[in-house]
Structures are given as C-alpha cells and as structure tokens.
Amino acid sequence: MTERAAPSTIRDVANRAGVSTATVSRVLAGIGNPKAETVGAVMAAVEALDYRPSSVARSLRMKRTFTFGLVLTDIANPFFPELVKAADDAARQAGYSIVLSTSAYEEHRAVHYLNLMADRRVDGLIVASSQVAATSWEWLAHAPLPSVVVNVEPVGATTAVITSDNEGGMRLATEHLIALGHRRIAHVTGSFTFSAASVRLQGFRAACAAAGLDPDTMPVIDGDGQFGGGEAAARRLLAEFPDITGVVCYNDITAIGLLAGSRAIGRSVPADLSIIGCDDIAAAAWVSPALTTVAQQKGEMGRLAVEHLISLLDNPDQEQAASVLRLPMLLRIRETTGPAPAASRPR
Amino acid sequence: MTERAAPSTIRDVANRAGVSTATVSRVLAGIGNPKAETVGAVMAAVEALDYRPSSVARSLRMKRTFTFGLVLTDIANPFFPELVKAADDAARQAGYSIVLSTSAYEEHRAVHYLNLMADRRVDGLIVASSQVAATSWEWLAHAPLPSVVVNVEPVGATTAVITSDNEGGMRLATEHLIALGHRRIAHVTGSFTFSAASVRLQGFRAACAAAGLDPDTMPVIDGDGQFGGGEAAARRLLAEFPDITGVVCYNDITAIGLLAGSRAIGRSVPADLSIIGCDDIAAAAWVSPALTTVAQQKGEMGRLAVEHLISLLDNPDQEQAASVLRLPMLLRIRETTGPAPAASRPR
DNA sequence: ATGAAAGCGCTAACAA
DNA sequence: TTGTTAGCGCTTTCAT
C-alpha cells in the first residue's frame, strides 16, 4: 500500500446497488418504506465497499454537527476527568459526541479556542474552567451557538452556569472541624484569579462566625491552588501560628501539599493537625493518611451541562437565560481529620 | 434574542464587499496579489459581519480537516494528560488541532471509536492505550488514514509505534534497589491485559539475574495497575514474604497503593521497605514520602507521534511501515527508596 | 417506493 | 488582479 485509497462515497454505493444516492441515504437513515430487495442491495454494497458516511459532508448539509465542544483550562487538572467522562457518556447517549479542547489558562487564548470550536460549527459549547473573564462572557452572549459554563462563580455570567455551592461546601468543611473540637482554625486560600477562591474564604469565615469564633482572628494564608502553595503554607502556618489545630484548604491539591509540608516539619496528621480539602480528586484517596474533603459533584455537573445544552437545542425559541444551578457539596470523612488535641482545647 | 442568528457566509462577505467569493477566499488565505483597496473592502466586510469561515465546508472541499484524532482508553488515567498536552502543542504549532476521544477499555468500543474518528475525516490517528488488540491493529492497517500507536508493546503492530523501553526501565528501577543493597526484592505486576506488564516483569527478572540474584526466588505478586491492587499486595507481601526489603511496582498507582498499604500495616518507608514505581505521574511527587520512580517520557511521545503523522501526510507516497521507536525511561530518585535495612543484609 | 436535482459553504481551476 | 464555475459528499424537497 503506497497510496491510501480514498474512502468510498454514497455515490459509489448507489452505483453498485443500482439505486440513486437518495435511496441509499434513506435506507441508511431508516426513512420511508424501502422494498426489502432495495435494502438488501444497498446493505450489500455498503458492506462490500466498506462505506462510512462522511460526517463532514453530512454536517455541511444538515447544518448540525451533533457535536458539543468542551473547552477546559487544563487537561492535567485532576478535577476534570470525571466531569469529562460524565459529559461524554451523556452526550453519546443522546447521539452527540464531544470534542475536547484545552485552553491553557490565558484569557486571550480562551477566546481563541472558543472561536475555533465555533468555526467547527459544534452545536453547543461547554466551558469548564475555574475562571471565566469578561471578554469570554461577552463572547458567549453573542455567540451563534448555545453554551453552558461549568464550575465557575457566575460573576458577570451571561449564560447558564452550573457550579457547586462553594460557600456552603466550605462551611460544611469548617463545621466538620469545629464539631471535632477545633477552635483555632486556619484557611489556605486559592489564587484569587479562580472565581471560587473568595467565595470559599467567605464560607470559611461564615462557619467560624456562626460557631462563635471571630473570623478575624483566624489565620488566612495565601495559597495558589497548587501543591507548592500548600507545602509553603505548612511552613508559614506552623512558624507563625503554632496554636492552629485545623486547616481548611481551598482545594485538595493544596491540602495534599500542606499534608506533605506538615509531615516534613514533623507535625503528625491528624494527631497534631487536622486537614480538610475540597473537590475530592482521585489523589485524595491515595495519600496517607487519606484526605478528608468536601466533594464536588463533578460527574453530575458534566451530565447536567450536556442535558441543558440538548434542551436548549430542542427548544430553539427559548431564550438562553443567565441561570445558575448550584450543586451541594458532600462531606467525605477520611483520615486527615480528628479530634482537636486536648492540650489546645479551651476549658 | 430568541432565534439565534445563522453565522454569516463567505457569500455575505463577498456581497457586502462588492467582490466575488473567490476573492474573499484568496484575501483571507493570503493568496495572490490583491489590490490594497480590495483587501480593505474584504476585511471591513469580514469585520462588520463577524465572519468566520466554516471549517466544515472547508474540510469538505479540501478533503482535509487539519485535525488529528487522539483516542485514549481513559481520560482519568493520570498517565495521559502530559502526553495529550504535548501532542496538542505540537499539532497546534503545525496548524493542526487535536480532537480527543475516550474509548473506555473495551476492545469492541475501541474499534467503534476509531470508526467515529475516521467518519470525521480526521487526517491522522494517534492511538494512546495500554492495550491494543488484534482487531484494532487490523483496522489500523486497512484504515484510509495514517496512524501512530503510542505507549504500547508492539505485539502484532501494523503501524508505527512509539513507546518506552519498558524492559530497560524496569531494569533501571531494579538496579537502583540492588545498588542500595537490597537482595530480597519483590515485583508487583500490572494486569497482563496491559501489553507492558510482562515486559516489565521481564526487565525485573533480567536485572535480578544480572546481579546474581536468582529471579525465581524473588516473589512476584499479581497486581492490577490500580491503587487497590497495590494496597492488597502490601498485605500479601508482608504476610507471606516478610524478609522482602524492596519492591518494584508495575506502575506508580500500584506503588502508591502499596505505600498506603505498607503504612497501614506499620512498615515504614523507606526505613523498613523501599518502593519504586514506574511512569512518573503527577501524584508520585504528591505522596509522602515522595515516590521514587522511573519516568516515561510522556510529552516526548505525544510530540513525536504528531510529528510522525505530519511527516506521513507530507510524503503520501511513503509506505506506512510498522516501525518501533523506544524511548528510554529515566530514574527519578525521591524518598521511597533507601539503603536496605542492615539486619536483612547478608554478610 | 424511488429518482432527479438543488444546495449546504467553501476552494481551485480556468478565463478574462 | 478578479470573476465564473464546478464540485467536495451528503440530505431533502419535489416529482414520478
């Protein structure tokens, strides 16, 4: 094989079966009442020629690609796999497929990738990010195709947003520590370019206040949402605030970094220090002690995003409203949280 | 906005600019020497109409999509992100984009997804898997498009394969332990449906033999390439072979499971037991102690796969030979390996 | 029940 | 330098 044979076309099939291309198209689509004889001839030709319809041609003609574009910031971010998988399943089940595109974290590239997907004429767009800037919202609002934004705080949102109850989730995490008797609790934030970072900080403070702990006296340390940020936080925290017995982290990766950093310094978890994360990525169950965390319903988000898109497509008259759906986060108690050390407990 | 406006076409632009569609096409492609005036008119119209060419139409006409399909078994497998990212970068740089598709692990679905990509008329296919069955090789050999298979032992290969030197990598891992004084070493295998599992076992045995350790006396425990398999192996290993001081694992996830399992049993790593993994996934650096491992050059694989595809496309006359490229694996010493405990060292 | 023909939006000869 | 035209492979009226 030196020259690769061109794929056979519907015309090849029609010729071989002695029918028109229209008939082939109908038979394959299961439309009308073709004679059994015709069906046989067509199928035989299809088989013989190994015919597979070009979805490029089909898309051009039907003005639909039966494809959704899923653009995400970073495929290496362990938050996404579960979301992608669920979206893929849901799409597939409805006769769509998903094409993935990674946007990196730069905003100008984001719009670039959105355009690329639109050029592909995908039928809808799912934007899964941790930060969506004004220009992107703008673009989405005027785009010639429907979209859903996932996993983002809806500041400036112009489309449907599906996200987690970040405030409530963090409250849940903080309350868990408080219930265990902790009174000196710190928070390691994410980068504030992530739209959820301030909301989660808010949740932390709210839970403290509700329990009668003055939030302003609780240390808040800047992290970056990465392993390194958590690791560094461990050093700062234990040097500057040695009385802290519990830490609520912006996300799991930060918590895992903090866990490693604490161990390096010689504090044992959870005996000396309790740590709780957020997201419930796969690695949370892999570290030891296994990380207690509040889980985002990642699969659910992906599934719902696809379903929303499909409903938007099915009712083209319905306006694409800027709605917000917040999924609750779920406490997953594992091994990094325990009772506050007796020594540091008041009374 | 109740009805979404249809995207404007090249004809709209031509009309508004008062030129023919051919001219618009040329101006946009930068072909010929259009008059500055014409260029201006066209660009103005493009701007005004917010025109973006349909890549669907372009693909149909040019019989090229400038897209590569990347089929991988499981997007949740932490082995892939780095590979995908590198492939994406390389493709982008050459004017291609990558569409991703997850095949799950079932072989019949794999062929299904290969067909789907072919229907999309992608220009080439990258199959990144840990197992490629005969039917897939068959399909690839007769497919109307070029392909590269990545990260697989080339048993039955019909196309170019880019993979790691699995045998050499495992030898490297084992030699590292031997150099640290370990003499009683075990191996936890992967599932043997992964094509690399037996080759890695082979490398383990070869290194033992080369160092004068009888491979037949070294425990080999069945794993599954998952966390659970490693965890279970810890229990079996320490119950049945308590004299073992070092373990070479099929992959990092297994090693991380083994690490967690060992700790649960009360063996301390690396003081009592040294553990080495394989792959170098992100989480290897996150666990503590951080996992020593041999790294696969995942990014390099992705980059090379794309480059090979492009060269195949540029020289369409060149036969798609079944070649094999093996990248060396790299030892990454971290914290889970150390000197063999003195007690168990002979002499 | 089937065929003829038009056309989706684009590019590439070929003419002018 | 630009326009005219044909056609990529498919679906879908409209006839028959």
The residues spanned by each domain of chain B are 10-53, 67-165+297-328, 166-296+332-344
One fold for B67-165+297-328 and B166-296+332-344:
yes
List the beta strands (DSSP E) in chain B.
67-72, 97-102, 124-128, 147-150, 160-164, 185-188, 220-221, 246-249, 274-279, 292-295, 324-327, 330-332
Q: What nucleotide is nearest A14 when CA is compared to C1'?
A: C3
Average pLDDT value for chain B: 94
Task: Look up the CATH number of domain B166-296+332-344.
Answer: 3.40.50.2300
Question: What is residue A107's predicted lDDT score, i.e. its pLDDT?
Answer: 76
Question: What is residue A106's predicted lDDT score, i.e. its pLDDT?
Answer: 74
**CA A170/CA A189 separation, integer angstroms:** 11
Q: Nearest 5°: phi and psi at A297?
A: -85, 75
Contact B121 A56 (CB under 8 A): yes
pLDDT in tens, B310-329: 999 998 777 778 899 999 99
Average pLDDT value for chain A: 94
Q: Nearest 5°: phi and psi at A185?
A: -125, 135
Question: What is residue A248's predicted lDDT score, i.e. its pLDDT?
Answer: 98
Question: What is residue B40's predicted lDDT score, i.e. its pLDDT?
Answer: 97
What's the angle, vertex CA B182, arms to CA B180 and CA B187, rounded to 5? Answer: 115
Contact A288 B264 (CB under 8 A): yes
pLDDT band at A149 (very low <50, low <70, confident <90, very high): very high
pLDDT in tens, A37-46: 999 999 999 9
CA of A308 to C1' of C8 (A): 27
Q: What is the mean pLDDT of residues A264-286?
A: 96
**CA B306/CA B302 separation, integer angstroms:** 6
pLDDT in tens, A5-59: 899 999 999 999 999 999 999 999 999 999 999 999 999 999 999 999 999 999 9
Q: Nearest 5°: phi and psi at B143?
A: -70, 150
pLDDT over 90 for what percent of chain B? Answer: 87
Contact B97 A102 (CB under 8 A): no
What's the angle, vertex CA B323, arms to CA B86 and CA B59, rounded to 5? Answer: 55
Residues with Cβ within 8 Å of residue A146, at least 6 apart in sequence: A123, A124, A125, A159, A309, A312, A313, A320, B4
Q: What is the mean pLDDT of residues B65-81?
A: 93
Question: What is residue B275's predicted lDDT score, i.e. its pLDDT?
Answer: 98
Question: What is residue B166's predicted lDDT score, i.e. its pLDDT?
Answer: 98
B169 residue type, one letter: G
B20: Cβ under 7 Å from strand D? Answer: yes
Question: Where do we find the tokens 């989480």?
Answer: B283
For residues B208-223, one letter each, b for 16 or more C-beta atoms within 10 angstroms of the residue's C-beta and e for the rest, the string is beebebebeebbebeb
Do the Cβ atoms of B254 and B233 come closer than 8 Å? yes
Question: What is residue B101's predicted lDDT score, i.e. its pLDDT?
Answer: 86
Per the model's pLDDT, the better-predicted residue between A38 and A343 turns out to be A38
Q: Which of B86, B170, B77 is nearest to B131 (CA)?
A: B77
Is the pLDDT at A345 greater than 60? The verdict is no
Residue of A nearest to B259 (CA): A288
Q: What is the mean pLDDT of residues B135-161?
A: 94
B257 residue type, one letter: G
Do the Cβ atoms of B314 and B285 come closer than 8 Å? no
Do the Cβ atoms of A90 and A306 come closer than 8 Å? yes
Question: What is residue B103's predicted lDDT score, i.e. its pLDDT?
Answer: 72
Question: What is residue B80's predicted lDDT score, i.e. its pLDDT?
Answer: 94
Q: Could you tell me where the DSSP H helices lie in B30-165?
A: 36-49, 55-62, 80-93, 107-119, 134-142
Return the H-helix or E-strand segment holding A101.
strand A97-102
Question: What is residue B3's predicted lDDT score, i.e. its pLDDT?
Answer: 61
Question: What is residue A1's predicted lDDT score, i.e. its pLDDT?
Answer: 42
Q: Nearest 5°: phi and psi at B72?
A: -130, 155
Which tokens go with A62? 């039907």
**Which residues are A294's β-sheet partners?**
A278, A331
**CA B333/CA A283 separation, integer angstroms:** 21
pLDDT band at A318 (very low <50, low <70, confident <90, very high): confident
Q: Which of B75, B267, B315 to mutate to test the interface with A (most CBs of A within 10 A)?
A: B75
Q: What is the mean pLDDT of residues A101-108?
A: 75
Topology of domain B10-53, CATH = 434 Repressor (Amino-terminal Domain) (1.10.260)
**CA A5/CA A11 separation, integer angstroms:** 16
Residues 205-224 of B with CB under 8 A from A: none
SS3 A164: strand
CB pairs under 8 A between A and B: 132
Q: What is the mean pLDDT of residues B170-198?
A: 97
Question: What is residue A17's predicted lDDT score, i.e. its pLDDT?
Answer: 98
Q: What is the mean pLDDT of residues B137-143?
A: 93
Contact A263 B7 (CB under 8 A): no
Q: What is the mean pLDDT of residues A198-203?
A: 98
Question: What is residue B345's predicted lDDT score, i.e. its pLDDT?
Answer: 43
Kindly report the pTM of this predicted structure: 0.94
DSSP result, A25-43? HHHHHT-S---HHHHHHHH
SS3 A193: coil
Count of other CB atoms within 10 angstroms of residue A304: 20
Lowest-pLDDT range, A101-105, A121-125, B255-259, B284-288?
Answer: A101-105
pLDDT in tens, A180-190: 999 999 999 99
Per the model's pLDDT, the better-predicted residue between A254 and A112 turns out to be A254
**CA A137/CA A159 separation, integer angstroms:** 8
**CA A288/CA B261 separation, integer angstroms:** 9
Lowest-pLDDT range, A89-103, A186-200, B13-27?
Answer: A89-103
Do the Cβ atoms of B248 and B177 come closer than 8 Å? yes
Q: Could you tell me where the DSSP H helices lie in chain A?
A: 10-17, 21-29, 36-49, 55-62, 80-93, 107-119, 134-142, 166-179, 196-210, 227-240, 252-265, 298-314
Q: Which of B65, B100, B312 to mutate to test the interface with A (most CBs of A within 10 A)?
A: B100
Q: What is the mean pLDDT of residues B46-63?
A: 98
Question: What is residue B347's predicted lDDT score, i.e. its pLDDT?
Answer: 35
B313 touches chain A (CB under 8 A): no
Task: Look up the CATH number of domain A67-165+297-328.
Answer: 3.40.50.2300
Question: What is residue B2's predicted lDDT score, i.e. its pLDDT?
Answer: 43
